[in-house]
Amino acid sequence: LNNNPSQYKLTLSGKLRSPKINFHPPFLMLMPVPLGVESEAVVTIIPQEFIRQSRIRVKLPELELADGTRTCPFSVQFPEGQDIVLSSDGTADELICHISFRSPKPVSLLGDLLFMDQEEN
């Protein structure tokens, strides 16, 4: 600086925090039910490493039935809201999610429900 030949060394360090969510229970198995009857389960979503408020959304699988029609037999509800809210200590509150299945036609499937935030994480 100012034609001074002294050298300065600057060292930076940091921690990469990648947001993620865990589920309790980690797997969901809904019981077989008669046609048109709803089967439901409750899942707790546990957010981790979020640095700002986020909103969770869900992509549900769509099925093609034997007659060619398409249906989505799943529905998801967040009775207490779907926003990840950070507390003063930097942790996030858990979210409660109700997942239900109902179909007027016979189906059997093994599929994924994709939970993501507004940044597609």
Q: Is this prediction's pTM over 0.95?
A: no
What is 76-105 written as a DSSP string?
A: EE-TT-SEE-B-TTS-B--EEEEEEE--SS
In a domain, 102, yes or no: yes
pLDDT tens-digit profile, the chain (121 residues): 567 666 777 788 887 778 889 999 998 888 888 999 999 999 999 998 888 888 999 999 988 888 888 888 999 999 999 999 888 777 888 999 999 999 888 887 878 899 988 888 8
What CATH number does residue 76 fall under?
2.60.40
User: Looking at the DSSP assignment, which residues form a beta bridge with residue 46?
Assistant: 22
- Inside any domain, residue 112: yes
Tell me: the pLDDT tens digits for 94-109?
A: 999 999 999 888 887 8
In-domain check, residue 13: no
What was the pLDDT predicted at 16? 77
In-domain check, residue 5: no
Whether residue 111 lies inside any domain: the answer is yes
Structural domain range at position 46: 20-116
Q: Looking at the domain assignment, is residue 14 inside a domain? A: no
103 within some domain: yes
Number of domains in the chain: 1
| 12 is a domain residue | no
